[in-house]
Amino acid sequence: MNNSKFSNRTSNDETNNSLNVIFNRKDFFNESSAMKTIWIFLCFLFITSCRVDVDEIVKYQVDNQGVVIATPYLWRAILHQKEPVSNGVIKFPILYHDNVLVPATNGVEGCLLSLINTKDGSVLWHWSDLFYDTEFNDVYFFIQNKNLFTYQNGSRSYCINMDNGLTHWKNMRDRIFDIRLDSFGQSYFTYASITNNDGYDEQIAFKGDIQSGEITEYLTANFTYEHHDCVRAVCSVVQVPDRENLVVVYYAENLPDWITQSYFGLYNTESKEWVWDKIAIAPPQIGNVLYYQPQIVNNKIYAEIGCSIVCHDLESGKQLWKRDFTNDFTFSGFIIEDGRLIGNNEDCFTVCLDPETGREHWRTSTAGTCGSMSYLNGIVYFAGGSDRKLFAIEARTGKIVWRINPKILEADYWAQFNSWNAAQFRYNAVYVLPAKGREPAKVIALTDMYAYCFEAYQ
């Protein structure tokens, strides 16, 4: 990686030395007055374009294995308008017109959602229209439709206009809803329990209108009802890409002793019929649930369940492969990019599988409990783990190229509290933006104090 781009960042002393070199040249004063003026102006432009305060320079550093542990940032933005307090988490990247939505705070007055300009880190707007001052802005699932963004937190549902940061609508629902939301054309699915005509409680899918916030009961599943006291839930309804009338439904019901049986079904929203149904995803056992929506890629359904990753054929529902691990993928999940399935397992390894066969390509020791993963130009980025660092890994080889240490970045801040060890990258989403015009490709990650913008590894 070429790091010469950082060599032109000078200190104030280096700036003064540059001035002395220019103005001590004898032939400089032999030029005409007009030429002198032009020289001075050009030198001023060059010098001021290179000046960076000494305190703001973070030196490029690598460890003894050649992994980047510190790199100069393009900018950093404080996440707290007043004294730092705990703020929320955004699980997956939320971008709007190349700007990023991040969790922030206004001191003890409450949590904010802030849209940040990725060119310079300036704040475009803050949103804080929560029902309760004590509520966290935890956004684990969301729907974006043009300029509208909506998320669900218990009985509280919010929709924000991304153009101006104003509340488009907000509703206090009459029941507790799952935090999961799934996109469906111009609408979306959300999930909550009802009592059916037979007196059973079950969680079903509601169809929501993002413009108005109105929701209606839409879809339930073919539960067995063999055990009166078991939990039954439709958990995800995922639209099939390029097939507007087909959705994959994930649902589950508990058996005695808290054992869970999970199923897939393929539902036709036009005919209101099941194309196929009740395909078991894994053998019933405790904790056998999906924490993330299934992913549909190349007519295959992928999901993490318990300590396994599974792949099903979309047309028939048949399970094509299942790969078991020593632990689960609960916190990070997995991504499918460039013909590779990559996930962070809780056994502290990042693994890469062939999506067609489930065969393992590589396995790299990383960090365990991390945030969700982002992909750009052949590199996978994520933050967290036991040491709370920012990782970048080559998707093709599994080679770690970044393990950025937040303690190096924030030594200037935490030193005043004698709490240097407190610096840590949060489990928040890592945002990636491709190069655009003169703007380089960027990676944005959050610590407890700041949002950092780095030039992408490649």
Dihedral of the alpha carbons of 48, 52, 53, 56, in degrees to the nearest 10: 160
Would residue 99 count as lying in a domain?
no
**Structure-model confidence comparison of residues 57 and 185, the more confident one:** 185
Between 15 and 382, name the one with better pLDDT. Answer: 382
Model confidence pLDDT, tens digit, residues 378-425: 999 999 887 789 999 999 999 999 999 998 998 876 666 655 557 899
**Residue 308, domain CATH:** 2.115.10.20
CATH of the domain at 454: 2.40.10.480
Give the model confidence (pLDDT) of 32-71 as tens digits: 444 444 444 444 343 333 333 334 578 899 999 999 999 9
What percent of the chain has pLDDT above 90? 67
Q: Span 303-318, mean pLDDT?
A: 96
Q: Is residue 134 part of a domain?
A: no
d(CA 376, CA 443): 9
Is there a single domain that holds both residue 349 and residue 292?
no
Question: 5 and 71, same structural domain?
Answer: no
**CA-wise closest residue to 352 among 394, 317, 392:** 394
Picking from 309, 324, 339, the residue at the C-terminal end of a domain is: 324
Same domain, yes or no, for 425 and 282?
no
Q: 311 and 163, same structural domain?
A: yes
165 and 309 part of one domain: yes
C-beta of residue 152 within 8 angstroms of C-beta of residue 113:
no
Say if residue 9's pLDDT is above 70. no
Interaxial angle between packed helices 12-23 and 33-50, expressed in degrees from 0 to 180 and rounded to the nearest 10: 160
Task: Judge contact between 298 and 280, C-beta under 8 A.
Answer: no
In which domain, by residue range, is 213 found?
A: 88-94+139-324
Task: Give a yes or no: residue 397 inside a domain.
Answer: yes
Assess whether 307 and 337 both reside in one domain. Answer: no
Count the domains in the chain.
Answer: 3
Write down the pLDDT at residue 55.
Answer: 43
More confident residue, 350 or 14: 350
Choosing from 324, 359, 392, the residue where a domain stops is: 324
* 119 and 20 part of one domain: no
Are residues 387 and 449 part of one domain? yes
* Helix intervals (H) in 369-427: 406-409, 411-414
State which of 304, 324, 344 marks the end of a domain. 324
Q: Is residue 102 part of a domain?
A: no
What are the φ and ψ backbone dihedral angles of 160, each rounded to 5 degrees? -120, 140
Is 103 within the bounds of a domain?
Answer: no
